[in-house]
Amino acid sequence: MPSSTPPRAASNTATTKAARIKAFRWIALALVLVIAIIVLSPIICTLAVAVAITAGVSLGKKNPTFLRFKTPATAARALIISVVVALLSAGMANLVLPRADTTVDEASVAFAPASPAADEAVAVGEDQPESPAPADTVTPEPGTALAALGTLEVTGRAPKTGYDRDEFGQRWKDIDRNGCGQRDDVLARDLAGVQKDGRCVVTSGILDDPFTGERIAFERGEDTSSLVQIDHVVPLSDAWQKGAQQLTAHQRETLGNDPLNLLAVDGAANAQKSDSDAATWLPKNTEFRCSYVARQVSVKVAYELWVTQAERDAMERILTGCPTEQLRTSDYAADAMAIAEEPAAKPRPSIAPAPNPQPTHESKPAPAPKPQPTQESKPAPPANVYFKNCTAAREAGAAPVRVGDPGYAKHLDRDGDGVGCE
C-alpha cells in the first residue's frame, strides 16, 4: 500500500506537463496560422474575390451546376463567406502593405528645397544661375579680364559658311622658332615629369587636367596619345563665326598656334566641349572656370573677336566671382595683328618712291642726305610707321631697321638678331 502513492503523483505531473505542451503547440499553430493569413492576405483576398464573383454569376444565371455549385443555397453561402473573407483579408493586407505613395512624394518635395547646393553642382553649363546680382557692386579694375570683357563687341554669331580647319594654316606650326612643334611645346609646358625623345618630342608625363581636376598619365602611342589632347581655348570654329573670317591668313594661323589659345587637357572632356563657347560649356572643375573664361577673354581681345550676348553674360557671371583675374597678353598676337594696320600705313612708304623717277638725275650728287629727311620726318609719327617688307623699307631709305627704330617689326627681322633688312 505505501508503495502505490508515489506513482500516482508522478502520473499527475506528467499529465499536466503533457497538457501544457499540447496547449503550447495549439498556441504556436494558431500564431503560425495568423501570421500565414496576414502574410498571405493579398492572395487570400484575391481568391475570395474570385469565389465571390463565381458564386454571384452562378446565382445570376440560376444554373449553379455550371460553376461547380450544386444548389443555389450553396452558391449563396459561398458568396457571403467569400465576401467576408475578402474584406477581412483586404484589411490585413493594408496592415501588412501600407500605401507609401503619398509619403514618398511628400518626402521628396519636402527635402528638395533644402539642398540648393546640389542643384548648382549638377548643372555644369548653368553655374550660379542667380549670381549676376553681385555684378552691380563689382567695379572692374584696369588690366583685369572682367574689365577687358566690357571692351568686346557684342553681336550675333555669323554663319559658319566657308569654315575649314585649313583656314587656320599649318597645324602645330613652330611659331616661336625653337625647332619644336607647338603640340610638343604645349605638352612640355603643361605636363609634369616630362620625358622626351630627343630635344622636342614628348613621350610621357603627368597631366593635372584643368578641365576635370583629375590626374592623367600621358604616354605617347597610337592607343594612348589621345588621352591627352591640345584644346583651342577659343575653338577655331567659334572664332571663325565671331570675327576670324575677317582676319588675314597669317593672323588666323597665329591664332591657331598661339600658346595663349592652347591647353593640354583630358581628351574626353575636350571632345565633349567641341566648339562650344562659355554660354554652352564650362569645365567640370569649377576651380578652373575663372582662369578658363579669363583666357577666352584674353584671346578674343588679342585677336579682336566678338562675343554673343549669351556668351558675354556667361563670362560676366563667372568673372564677377573673381574680379581680380588678370588679362593675359600674347606677343605673337600683337605682332600678327600689327599687320592689320597695313591699309592705313600704306600711304606713308609710298610717298618716298614718287619723287624718285624725275629728281634722280638732279639729286644724284647728294644721295647721302637721303636717309636724313626720312629720319627727320620719322620722329613725328614713330608709332604709325609700317613697312610691308624690306623693299618698302629700302625705298623709304630706312634700311637697315634696328630694334627701337621707327618701323621695326619682327617680320622684317627673320633671323631675330635685332637688325631687319640688313
The pLDDT score that the predictor gives to residue 67 is 54
Alpha helices in 246-365 (DSSP H): 249-257, 267-273, 289-302, 309-319, 331-338, 342-345, 347-351, 359-362
The pLDDT score that the predictor gives to residue 61 is 67
Cα separation of 182 and 174, whole Å? 6
Lookup: cell for 21:
505542451
| Residue 203 vs residues 19, 187, 218, 264: alpha-carbon distances, Å | 89, 10, 8, 14
The pLDDT score that the predictor gives to residue 359 is 47
pLDDT in tens, 20-39: 887 888 888 888 777 777 77
The pLDDT score that the predictor gives to residue 126 is 42
Which residue type occupies 130? E
The pLDDT score that the predictor gives to residue 340 is 52
Lookup: cell for 353:
618712291
What length is written for the chain? Answer: 422
The pLDDT score that the predictor gives to residue 68 is 61
Question: What residues in the chain have per-residue pLDDT under 70?
Answer: 1-12, 61-70, 93-137, 340-384, 388, 414-416
The pLDDT score that the predictor gives to residue 178 is 95
Alpha-carbon Rg of the chain, whole angstroms?
44
The pLDDT score that the predictor gives to residue 265 is 97
Who's near 393: CB < 8 A, 6+ residues apart? Answer: 349, 387, 399, 401, 407, 412, 420, 421
Cα separation of 138 and 21, whole Å? 86
The pLDDT score that the predictor gives to residue 397 is 76
